[in-house]
A and B are shown apart, each in its own frame.
Chain A
Amino acid sequence: MSFLRDLIEAVVPAAYAEEPEEEPVEETEEAEEEPEAEAAGGDDDEEEEDDEDEDEVEDPLVALSEECKNSEACKKYVHHFDECIERVTKESEEEGYAEKHYKEDCVEEFFHLQHCVNDCVAPRLFNKLK
């Protein structure tokens, strides 16, 4: 009945009063704190442990990317990328690298690899997130 409600609201002058009372506010905060406290076990020490646990939470994106990187489809891109890194690193250790007019980089190889990984990760990632 949102339409009727809107209509009534448009006609009837209703200033949205300030907060009804202070009390419900406090109630909210208390109520919000309680489950948290319960979950954390109440004690401060245990909360710290909780924090540590949270730091250990594995990001599904990292796991998925790793999995996709090792998949059959992305194998050749990994190969090209690794080869490029090897080539460029070798080149950069040569004498006179700093003065070189053109220095190769591995951006393109990285893009191809990342593109492959993305295509594999993207359809699955959001199923693992809230």
Chain B
Amino acid sequence: MFKSSILRNINSSMTQKIIAGSVGVTGLTASYMLYQDSLTASAMTAAEHGLHPPAYGWSHNGMFETFDHASIRRGFQVYREVCASCHSLERIAWRNLVAVSHTTTEAKAFCEELEYDDEPDDEGNPRKRPGKLADYIPNPYENEQAARAANQGALPPDLSLIVKARHGGCDYIFSLLTGYPEEPPAGVALPPGANYNPYFPGGSIAMGRVLFDGLVEYEDGTPATTSQMAKDVTTFLNWAAEPEHDDRKKWGLKAIIIVSSLYLVSIWVKRFKWQPIKNRKYRFDPPKK
């Protein structure tokens, strides 16, 4: 009886020691492994988020600044001669360019070069007709599958709303276009056919660098440097995403003037109405007994 209890006591203290020891070892091992793992962890890295673009001095920054329409015009030229071979601009019709960057004559000349589907003839055969101002800018590919097939599985996004659709807006688009380094930083492994761009989240982008100095010839004689073309096409894409931009800012100015005057008037009215109430004085004359 007595013996067995001693044995049990020894046993229990031994067990406790073993348990405590193994917990300690497990904890230390786990901590060490976590530490080792953290040295090579690659989640939530800077590369994953992409390099943040700096803030450039766009001429349409500010509450009352319109787009630079000469830049929109040059940007359309860049889009048409460079981007349009892969990227669609589905939401812009030729008529939208009129009085924004081109005259009616010029816009008509653009669309009349192209063929659009017409109504079928009496026997149901499909027909084509020259484009009209009301037609939309045609897609470079028939459908998404064709676009992917032509670009190694990558889909060139539609550019109509791209400035609104990307964090950083204009600054991001400009940085992306001008930000291709000569070679990716050492140690970066890219999938086949991919290019390195620090601004693109993840760094590996299917689109290669497309803008090179002197790629287009501007009609107004502006030197067509890479950054100039990137600036112009970004301004154009910003217009495409926000065609109401100039009018919106004008209406904003009007709204600010009217609403703030009404606000001041309302303050005056309130004070006017409350004046007698605020200034009155109650006097209590106790009845004389």
> What's the minimum C-beta distance from B16 to chain A, rounded to whole angstroms?
39
> What's the minimum C-beta distance from B102 to chain A, rounded to whole angstroms?
11
- Judge whether A103 and B56 touch: CB under 8 Å: no
- Judge whether B225 and A57 touch: CB under 8 Å: yes
- Judge whether A105 and B51 touch: CB under 8 Å: no
> What's the minimum C-beta distance from B223 to chain A, rounded to whole angstroms?
4
Taking the complex as formed, is A15 at the interface, i.e. its CB lies under 8 A from any CB of chain B? no
Q: Mark B120-159, 1 if CB is under 8 A from A, else 0.
A: 0000000000000000000000000000000000000000
Complex: how many Å from CA A122 to CA B274? 54
| A residues less than 8 Å from B39 (CB atoms) | 102
Main secondary structure of the interface of B (DSSP, over half): loop
> What's the minimum C-beta distance from A1 to chain B, rounded to whole angstroms?
15
Given contacts A55-B214, A61-B178, contact A122 B54 (CB under 8 A): yes
Taking the complex as formed, is B224 at the interface, i.e. its CB lies under 8 A from any CB of chain A? yes
Taking the complex as formed, is A121 at the interface, i.e. its CB lies under 8 A from any CB of chain B? yes
Q: Mark B209-223, 1 if CB is under 8 A from A, else 0.
A: 000011001010111
Number of residues from B at the complex interface, CB < 8 A: 43
Q: Mark A91-113, 1 if CB is under 8 A from B, else 0.
A: 01000000001111111111100
Complex: how many Å from CA A61 to CA B229? 12
- Judge whether A109 and B185 touch: CB under 8 Å: yes
- Judge whether B187 and A104 touch: CB under 8 Å: yes
Taking the complex as formed, is A85 at the interface, i.e. its CB lies under 8 A from any CB of chain B? yes
Q: Mark B46-59, 1 if CB is under 8 A from A, else 0.
A: 11000111111111
> What's the minimum C-beta distance from B182 to chain A, rounded to whole angstroms?
11
Given A105-B186, A118-B51: 6 more A-B contacts, CB < 8 Å? A59-B225, A85-B186, A102-B40, A106-B187, A121-B54, A129-B225
Interface residues of B (CB under 8 A from A): 39-40, 45-47, 51-59, 70-71, 104-105, 108, 175, 178-179, 181, 185-189, 198, 203, 213-214, 217, 219, 221-228, 231
Can you list 29 A-B pairs with a CB-CB distance of less than 8 A?
A16-B104, A19-B104, A39-B221, A54-B213, A54-B214, A54-B224, A55-B214, A58-B225, A60-B227, A61-B226, A61-B227, A85-B186, A89-B186, A92-B187, A103-B187, A103-B189, A104-B187, A106-B187, A106-B188, A107-B187, A107-B188, A110-B185, A118-B51, A119-B54, A122-B57, A126-B57, A126-B231, A127-B57, A130-B228
Interface residues of A (CB under 8 A from B): 16, 19, 24-25, 28, 32, 36, 39, 51, 54-55, 57-62, 81, 84-85, 88-89, 92, 101-111, 114-115, 118-119, 121-123, 125-127, 129-130
Report, nearest first, the 4 A-B pairs whose CB atoms are least far apart: A105-B187, A122-B54, A102-B40, A106-B185
